[in-house]
Amino acid sequence: MVQSQWPYWLPLRSDLRNISPYGAPQIEGVIALNTNENPFPLPGEVAEAMSIRLNAVIGNLNRYPDRDAHGLRQKLAHYITQSTGVEVSEENVWAANGSNEILQTLFLACGGADHLSLGFIPSYSVHPLIAQITKTPWFAGSRDEDFGIDIAKAKKLIRDKSPHLVFVTTPNNPSGSSTSIADLKELAEATGSVGGLFIVDEAYAEFSEEPSAVTLLADFPHVVVVRTMSKAFAFAGARTGYLIAKPAVVHASLLTRLPYHLSALTQAAAETALEFAPAMQSEIELLITERERVANAITEVGYRVVPSSANFLLFGGFSGESSAIWQAFLERGILIRDIGLRGFLRVTIGTPAENTQFIAVLHKIAE
Ligand SMILES: Cc1ncc(COP(=O)(O)O)c(C=O)c1O
């Protein structure tokens, strides 16, 4: 909806009148490779255990849920301890309806008109969007041609700007490229030296070989790692995201979360998923193998593909406009993502059959 269409009686904030709601197209009857979802449904044994658990919860829906999601946070802490080797407890974890809500909770707690936020673009566009919604100024630092972060430049930028919030997404969306733990450490140091919070968005961490920024927590109290169950856990529809940080960050999040924000159904479903973590994540290896197959196919037709450690690929080098290439894919039944980055498109890794179809269409388009 554009500004002229807002009704005169709606006291909408003036700074929101010209923005569009976030959203990727949701189109029926096509192969959707546009939102970095995991293409595999829940394993049967997990679905069964979950429905038994949810049935029990349904009998209690007259009651508010556990406001502080203790059981879920314990299970998330256990998962992080096991998968990263860093001992964390419930006190280090906060959970919400997707990591987007976690990001919003952090912005509400530590952002605001007199608190600068800073990120390195192109990256996850929801970071600056939530900055805007929460009236937090945003400074867009840049990435280099290969979508990496020039650490010397970034450290200087952080020291010059003194941001309260610094965001690094790794593996990065939309490029798929990773920032090494050594580089994250340098950026964390720089952010600490100006009194900022260093937020590492690790939505795709399970697809990457790099150690998690959770390993920095012992030395840097101002590091916050944001994670989601939407990708590696194939759990996007259940909306569960979380952060791992020092307890003070969790306490600050309690100030800005809505009361009873996480439904009893979500908590029970997520707890069950975590009890079955290996089964829920059993397709990660296959997705990584498929990622390399699709990347090779893209290179073979003469396009450029950015090396990825996530479940998607950014590719470019088209002779025409990327919007026309996007349309050509759609007309052939494949929905990929035009993230508004000139000369590039992003494709999510699907099932082997979906990827084969993508590759077949790719060949036709690149002819
Ligand atoms: C980098 C990044 N962070 C966070 C999210 C949000 O994930 P969710 O809200 O589903 O947990 C996404 C989703 O695509 C993402 O790409």
Say how many C-beta atoms besides its own lie within 10 A of residue 70's C-beta. 11
Same domain, 170 and 218: yes
Out of 277, 296, 331, pick the residue that ends a domain. 277
Q: How far is CA 349 from CA 125, 233, 326, 358, in A?
A: 20, 15, 16, 10
Q: For ligand 1, pick from 126, 206, 207, 311 the residue to mutate: most ligand atoms within 8 Å of CB.
A: 126
Which of 134, 75, 78 has the alpha carbon at shortest distance from 103?
Answer: 134
CA 237 to centroid of ligand 1, rounded, Å:
12
Residues 36-53: tens digit of each pLDDT: 999 999 999 999 999 999
CATH number at residue 168: 3.40.640.10
How many domains does the chain divide into? 2
Which of 141, 130, 135 has the alpha carbon at shortest distance from 115?
Answer: 135
Residue carrying the six token digits 């280099």:
144
Residues 253-280: tens digit of each pLDDT: 999 999 999 999 999 999 999 999 999 9
- Predicted confidence at residue 367, as pLDDT, reads 81
Is beta strand 93-96 parallel, antiparallel or unpaired with respect to 241-244? Answer: antiparallel
Same domain, 186 and 263: yes
- Predicted confidence at residue 25, as pLDDT, reads 82
What one-character DSSP code corresponds to residue 256?
A: H
Which of 106, 149, 154, 155 has the alpha carbon at shortest distance from 131?
Answer: 106
Distance CA 226, CA 243 (A): 4
For ligand 1, atom 2, name the residue with the nearest CA.
203
CA 226 to centroid of ligand 1, rounded, Å:
9
Q: How far is CA 229 from CA 67, 166, 270, 275, in A?
A: 20, 23, 8, 13
- Predicted confidence at residue 2, as pLDDT, reads 55
Same domain, 99 and 217: yes
Same domain, 104 and 207: yes
Same domain, 123 and 208: yes
Q: Tokens for 111, please give them.
A: 């952002």
Out of 256, 277, 298, pick the residue that ends a domain. 277
Distance CA 119, CA 105 (A): 17
Out of 277, 297, 316, pick the residue that ends a domain. 277
Q: Which residues line ligand 1 (CB under 6 A)?
A: 36, 98-100, 124, 169, 173, 201, 203, 228, 230, 236, 241
Question: Quick one: three-class SS letters along 126-164?
Answer: HHHHHHHHCCCCEEEEECCCCCCCCHHHHHHHHHHHCCC
- Predicted confidence at residue 50, as pLDDT, reads 98
Residues 182-192: tens digit of each pLDDT: 999 999 999 99
- Asked whether the beta carbons of 94 and 73 are under 8 A apart, the reply is yes
Same domain, 271 and 306: no
Q: Could you write out the DSSP letters of every residue in 45-112?
A: HHHHHHHHHHHHHHTTTTSPP-TT-HHHHHHHHHHHHHHHS----GGGEEEESHHHHHHHHHHHHH-S
- Predicted confidence at residue 26, as pLDDT, reads 87
Predicted confidence band of residue 24 (pLDDT cuts 50, 70, 90): confident
Mean pLDDT for 150-160 is: 98
* CB-based contacts of 162, cutoff 8 Å, min separation 6: 116, 194, 195, 196
Same domain, 272 and 344: no
Q: For ligand 1, pick from 26, 35, 100 the residue to mutate: most ligand atoms within 8 Å of CB.
A: 100
Same domain, 151 and 182: yes
Residues 27-86: tens digit of each pLDDT: 889 999 999 999 999 999 999 999 999 999 999 999 999 999 999 999 999 999 999 999
CATH number at residue 21: 3.90.1150.10
Which of 259, 199, 205, 267 has the alpha carbon at shortest distance from 239?
Answer: 267
For ligand 1, atom 12, name the residue with the nearest CA.
203
Say how many C-beta atoms besides its own lie within 10 A of residue 36's C-beta. 22
- For residue 92, the enclosing domain spans 50-277
Mean pLDDT for 217-222 is: 98
CA 227 to centroid of ligand 1, rounded, Å:
8
Same domain, 172 and 240: yes
Same domain, 25 and 82: no
- Asked whether the beta carbons of 229 and 238 are under 8 A apart, the reply is yes
Residue carrying the six token digits 């059993």:
282
Same domain, 219 and 337: no
Task: Please state the atom number of ligand 1 nearest to the C-alpha of residue 230.
Answer: 10
Q: For ligand 1, pick from 99, 207, 313 the residue to mutate: most ligand atoms within 8 Å of CB.
A: 99
Predicted confidence band of residue 337 (pLDDT cuts 50, 70, 90): very high
Same domain, 240 and 310: no
Say whether pLDDT at 325 is over 90: yes
- Asked whether the beta carbons of 326 and 333 are under 8 A apart, the reply is no
